[in-house]
Amino acid sequence: MEPLRIGILGAARIAGRAIVEPARLTGARLVAVAARETERAEAFAAEHQVMRVHASYQDVLDDPEVEAIYNPLANGLHGPWNLRAIAAGKHVLTEKPSASNAEEAVRVRDAVREHGVVFMEAFHYAYHPVMRRLQELLAKGELGDLQHVEATMVMPPPPDADPRWSLPLAGGAVMDVGCYAIHAQRMLAQYAGGAPKLISARAGERKRLPGVDEWLNADLEFPSGATGAIRTSMAAESVDFSLKVVGTRGEAFAPFFVLPQNDDRVIVTTKEDTWVEHLGTRSSYTYQLEAFAGAVRNGAPVLTDADDALATMELIDACYRDAGMAPRPASTI
């Protein structure tokens, strides 16, 4: 398969593990990068062997050798630059969430359909064997009928000046970590009769930051009667990125489902026995880039496509509204 030719928008910290290392392992070429400060882009390119530095994000989009864009910008810049990349005819791998709100996600979805590009939202955990095994346990009936899904995404607070606390940049606990918990509920919906419905949500604002959620808890219900619980926070004492799936015959627990390369265990408990399965510490980001390249080169289906992104954003917006907060504003650039 011809190597994918990737341009990077920004020199974000996450890019090292999310695109640079996977590109090295899969043979993809890092063609170009731009950042707000040219010096940062030059340092990034030198460190990660990116072929060239451009003066602006738009220059990366205009580069004829770039066929796909990786977008790790601040949340509020995902939607606008995804739209520009799509309009430029580039395939897009975007960090989550792919838009600031559902209205913007509709525009992204419609643009993807119009221009016929591959679009993938970077819920990388969904491509790892840990998540696939949780789905398999339900699909094969090993846990019985699904009764409850508990997704927890909590972490200590970022610094006060971190853009993840910025309302204009679509910040907040749900947008940074909680979106994983919400997406995971949706990933298991096929085993509970369909998409979950929000029952209630509660949230707390960050001190001196009106409208920015420090934490949010939500309860869901699936058409089958199964329930879901979401707990997310950016003000916890420690990290807990776990997912528990409970069925009529047993339960499965993934203690670090969103970063399975750090902990690849799935702990299965039934009435008869308890055992631990190790699903491999190969990076979820590598699995993700392989899936993206397969979609671009071979037309393989995309699990986390623009339609999936819209459905996730609709549930995120519903959680905000029910908790008495407004959905994140769309940024203008």
96 is catalytic: yes
Strands, DSSP E only, in the chain? 5-9, 29-34, 52-53, 68-71, 91-94, 119-121, 146-154, 197-206, 209-221, 227-233, 240-247, 250-254, 265-270, 274-278
Compute the distance between CA of residue 197 and CA of residue 223 in angstroms, rounded to an integer.
8
CA distance 111 to 283: 30
Q: Which of 90, 96, 140, 207 is catalytic?
A: 96
Is 191:184 a contact under the CB 8 Å cutoff?
no
**Separation CA 42–CA 255 (nearest Å):** 38
233 pairs with which residues across the strands? 154, 215
Residues 6+ apart with CB under 8 A from 328: 75, 76, 100, 101, 167, 170, 171, 172, 175, 320
Known catalytic residues? 96
